[in-house]
Amino acid sequence: MDNIDLITDQLKKLARQHPNTSMGELLSEVLPDNRTPEDLLLFKEELEGMSTDARSVCRIIFSLPHKAVGPNGRGWLKRRLRLQRWAWPRIYNSFHEIKKILNGNGNL
């Protein structure tokens, strides 16, 4: 089991225990506390460099309870965006942009 699986498992457990807690708060409980102010500034700059749509997706993920975590999270997020009348290309382009950033090869 790699670090991502461990973090996901911990997030699922915390989400069951605290169903009304936002994803951002849950992540702060699970992620290592060795982030420097520079790390947070870089993360903020990455978010600000994203398209409006990608930032909207991130906002949903960070602000909603645990629904965006786990094996059904991406499907749940797609359904939510479709209910907001997002077209499929808009959804996939936003997901692709976020994935590029997370994989470290986004130069936005």
pLDDT along the chain (108 residues), means of 10: 56 73 67 62 76 88 67 84 96 90 63
The Cα 57–Cα 74 span in angstroms is 11
Burial 34-65 (b: 16+ CB within 10 A, else e): eeeeeeeeeeeeebeebeebbbbbbebbeebe
In a domain, 48, yes or no: yes
Residues 6 or more apart in contact with residue 95 via CB below 8 angstroms: 57, 74
What does the pLDDT read at residue 51? 92
pLDDT for the residue 2? 44
Q: Give the structural domain span for 8.
A: 3-102
Q: Is residue 107 assigned to a domain?
A: no
The pLDDT assigned to 15 comes to 73
pLDDT at residue 108, as a whole number: 45
Evaluate whether 71 touches 30 at the Cβ level (below 8 Å): no
pLDDT at residue 90 in the model: 97
What pLDDT is stored for residue 62 in this prediction? 75
Identify whether the C-beta of residue 98 lies closer than 8 Å to the C-beta of residue 50: yes
Overall number of domains in the chain:
1
* pLDDT confidence of residue 69: 65
Q: What is the pLDDT of residue 88?
A: 96
Q: Is residue 86 part of a domain?
A: yes
Tally helices (H) and strands (E) across the chain: 6, 0
